[in-house]
């Protein structure tokens, strides 16, 4: 992710909203008011299909076809202490 951010900065472009490698593990970063307040390690290996999740997605997004929701595992979560229990 840091290499992609550097490449975007050198090219004068905004980095992608979401960076997630295919297969393995990824770190999601939580930012609030331009400050990183949390990190979440997740698996990026696609798990089995989840029919209840797919049904909820269909309800929320009005029956968009072709959505294949899967599962992933949260490996760790860390939120900076001042931002815990704030409902962010």
For residue 22, what pLDDT is reported?
65
- For 21-30, b where at least 16 C-beta lie within 10 A, e where not — what string? eeeeebeeeb
Q: What is the pLDDT of residues 29-88, one digit of tens each?
A: 888 888 989 998 888 777 777 788 888 888 887 766 666 677 778 889 999 998 888 765
3-class DSSP state for residue 70?
strand
pTM above 0.85, yes or no: no
For residue 42, what pLDDT is reported?
86
Whole-angstrom distance, CA of residue 18 vs CA of residue 30: 11
């Amino acid at each position: 992710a840091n290499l992609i951010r550097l490449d975007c900065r050198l090219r004068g472009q905004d980095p992608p909203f979401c960076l997630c490698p295919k297969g393995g593990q990824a770190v999601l970063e939580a930012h609030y008011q331009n400050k990183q307040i949390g990190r979440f390690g997740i698996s990026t290996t696609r798990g089995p299909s989840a029919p209840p999740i797919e049904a909820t997605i269909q309800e929320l997004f009005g029956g968009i076809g072709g959505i294949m929701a899967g599962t992933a595992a949260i490996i760790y979560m860390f939120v900076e202490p001042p931002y815990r229990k704030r409902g962010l």
